[in-house]
């Protein structure tokens, strides 16, 4: 069975796996994939080496600008469940109104280097339940709420993953982490933490001052670590919040502008048009259609 939308791909079928890999996941920066191995195994060339994902293993491949996927080989008895989402959806899950995990960047770096997690029975039940919920949504007739429901399911699954990492005590917050994460990583982590804490500050200079570095250096660090400049990160967070208000509330434009601490509704409209190509009202009208 293979089901998909423009931004989500769900499969437990070998041909579906191959099609997803060929069309969606070969570029590691463009998607996030979570694959649970139910039987057999699959060997995947990842981060410069061949890794084996075996029965009851969960493989988590986060968007990564530095490593693309390589060849793979699967055993004849390989069975699996896979969910792949676009990187933009992953960013929304992590940053749109989710300021609950300030240490996520450090955990993210750990997951990139250690992407395989052996699951116990409870964790397997959780994953299969989320997979089943997504399947039901994709099989059901499209509705005005389907995208929001699927986003909530994906968020819940992400939180379960974070919870599982914590339970395994795979990562702590001690200074020893500096042995594996560079100063640039930490600066970027602090920048994303500030983004979550002060989402309505929209000037690179403001964040650079907080971090006691120059705006140019902050943007260089962000570009090196994530592939996006500081300004692009700020815009992504702001646009995600704008879309949330326009999609999920009936608040007047002036009230949204005030809630997001824009100087006035006119400036808010200009910002929205610049970053989405549409005015707020056009964006809302498109959503209704």
CATH superfamily of 2-89+103-168: Regulatory protein AraC (2.60.120.280)
pLDDT of 123-180, one tens digit each? 889 889 999 999 998 898 888 888 888 888 888 887 787 777 666 645 444 444 444 4
Q: What is the CATH T-level fold of the domain 182-288, as seen in this structure? A: Arc Repressor Mutant, subunit A (1.10.10)
Domain limits, the chain: 2-89+103-168, 182-288
276, pLDDT greater than 90: no
**Taking the chain, what is the end-to-end CA distance rounded to the nearest angstrom?**
30
Instruction: Write down the pLDDT at residue 68.
Output: 58
Tokens at 70, concatenated: 């390589």
Instruction: Write down the pLDDT at residue 4.
Output: 82
226, pLDDT greater than 50: yes
Instruction: Answer whether 2-89+103-168 and 182-288 agree in fold.
Output: no
pLDDT of 70-96, one tens digit each? 788 999 999 999 998 887 777 767 655
Q: Among residues of the chain, what percentage have pLDDT more than 70?
A: 81
Average confidence (pLDDT) over 242-260: 88
Instruction: Write down the pLDDT at residue 177.
Output: 40
2 pairs with which residues across the strands? 11
According to DSSP, the β-strands at 8-11 and 79-86 are antiparallel
Residue 243 vs residue 30, higher pLDDT: 243
């Amino acid at each position: 069975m293979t089901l998909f939308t423009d931004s989500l791909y769900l499969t437990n079928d070998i041909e579906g796996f191959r099609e997803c890999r060929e069309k969606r996941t070969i570029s590691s920066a463009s998607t996030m994939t979570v694959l649970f191995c139910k039987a057999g195994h699959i060997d995947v060339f990842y981060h410069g080496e061949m890794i084996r994902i075996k029965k009851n293993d969960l493989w988590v491949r986060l968007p990564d600008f530095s490593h693309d996927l390589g060849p793979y080989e699967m055993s004849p008895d390989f069975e699996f469940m896979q969910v792949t989402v676009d990187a933009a959806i992953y960013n929304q899950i992590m940053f749109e109104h989710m300021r609950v995990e300030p240490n996520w960047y450090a955990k993210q770096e750990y997951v990139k280097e250690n992407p395989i997690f052996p699951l116990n029975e409870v964790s397997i039940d959780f994953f299969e339940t989320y997979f089943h919920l997504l399947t039901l949504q994709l099989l059901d007739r499209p509705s005005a709420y389907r995208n929001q429901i699927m986003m909530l399911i994906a968020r819940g699954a992400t939180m379960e993953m974070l919870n599982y990492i914590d339970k395994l005590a795979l990562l702590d917050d001690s200074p020893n982490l500096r042995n594996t994460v560079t100063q640039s990583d930490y600066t970027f982590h602090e920048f994303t933490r500030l983004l979550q804490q002060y989402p309505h500050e929209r000037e690179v200079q403001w964040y650079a001052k907080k971090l006691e570095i120059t705006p140019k250096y902050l943007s260089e660090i962000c570009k090196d670590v994530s592939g996006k400049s500081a300004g692009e990160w700020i815009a992504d967070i702001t646009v995600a919040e704008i879309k949330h208000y326009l999609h999920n509330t009936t608040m007047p434009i002036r009230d949204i502008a005030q809630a997001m601490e824009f100087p006035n509704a006119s400036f808010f409209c200009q910002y929205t048009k610049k970053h989405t190509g549409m005015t707020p009202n056009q964006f809302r009208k498109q959503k209704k259609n």
